[in-house]
Amino acid sequence: MARPLIMVSVYLVYIMGTLAARAAGAPFDMARFLSGGLLLTLVVVAIHYANEYADYETDALTWRTPYSGGSGVLPGGRVPRSLALRAAQISLATGMIAALAATILGQLSLLALVLLSIGAAGGWMYSLPPLRLAWHGWGEADNALLGGMVLPLYGYVVQGGRLEPRIALAFLPFTLLAFNNLLATTWADRDADRIVGKYTLATRRTTRQLRRLYALVATGCFALVLFGLGNRLPMAVQSTWLTLPLVFWGWRTYTRIDSPHPSVWAMVVAQLVQIAGWWLAGNG
């Protein structure tokens, strides 16, 4: 139920944060990297299972891609739906108890625990009560902030990086690209979501409004990179320019095709080039 491609994407963003900490002067600690990654895995798997449980009805109606439509395990009847929720609860409890123990023992900083907790709460309430953000038009923003901002900051802080506004700003362009990726993936599920009453932006806004939103967010991303908010963005973020053709492709095809692939590839390439940029910055 935890789709491999999405898990790989999570780890890439975690690595991005790790390399940003190294570029900022924090020494790389393999033990912290692995333990932080293990805790992250438990939380992310729990969120995936919770989302599979909540999206059972819409996943049964939509067509699947590697990035949208769920894993197909529950609608296919391979495991009971209730098992997904129990597995999510166990994985989340295990991850958070282990994270708390690691913090008490001094293996995980308090700030890293806070960021992991924010990710766990925001990810859980993305699809489940009390907020069910994805069902009320807030899921795209929630997911983008968690995956584009909170996750790399977690990787950064796990390595002992000093959290500064400049670092959070450095991850903002990627967060905006992640938002557009989510616009595209939810577009693919719009018909099924509308039938079951899941009101994503794709079901609440017109095609023209969605395309304008996509263009506005993409423009904001590259405006940040260009002007750097007073040159406060690290040079590593300049690598985002390499994604410009893919972002344009994503905008051109958004709402015109059901496949989210162009926008997904724009985000994936952004991950890879920023990882390379932070690595070069740490070895400069």
> Where does residue 6 rank: exposed (0-12), middle (13-18), buried (19+ CB within 10 A)?
middle
Tell me what percent of the residues of the chain surpass a pLDDT of 70. 92
pLDDT 10s digits, 99-131:
999 999 999 999 999 999 999 999 999 999 999
pLDDT score, position 162:
83
Instruction: Please state, in angstroms and rounded to a whole number, the distance separating the CA atoms of residues 247 and 151.
Output: 22
Quote the Cα angle for 39-44-46, to 5°.
Answer: 100
- Report the predicted TM-score, pTM, of the whole model to 2 decimal places: 0.94
pLDDT score, position 108:
96
pLDDT 10s digits, 2-34:
678 899 999 999 999 999 999 999 999 999 999
Confidence of residue 1 (pLDDT cuts 50, 70, 90): low
Instruction: Please state, in angstroms and rounded to a whole number, the distance separating the CA atoms of residues 99 and 112.
Output: 9
- 3-state SS assignment for residue 161: coil
Instruction: Please state, in angstroms and rounded to a whole number, the distance separating the CA atoms of residues 264 and 184.
Output: 8
Tell me what percent of the residues of the chain surpass a pLDDT of 90. 78
Q: Which residue has the higher pLDDT, 248 or 66?
A: 248
Residue 237: pLDDT above 90? Answer: yes
Average pLDDT over residues 153-162: 93
Determine contact, residues 206/255, Cβ cutoff 8 Å.
Answer: no
Instruction: Please state, in angstroms and rounded to a whole number, the distance separating the CA atoms of residues 20 and 162.
Output: 11
Residue found under tokens 């059972």: 56
pLDDT score, position 76:
67
CATH class of 4-282: mainly alpha
pLDDT score, position 195:
92
Task: Report the 10 Å Cβ neighbour count for 282.
Answer: 18
Confidence of residue 222 (pLDDT cuts 50, 70, 90): very high
pLDDT score, position 63:
66
Confidence of residue 229 (pLDDT cuts 50, 70, 90): low
Distance of CA 233 to the CA centre of its chain: 21
Residue found under tokens 């908010």: 229
Domain parsing of the chain, residue ranges: 4-282
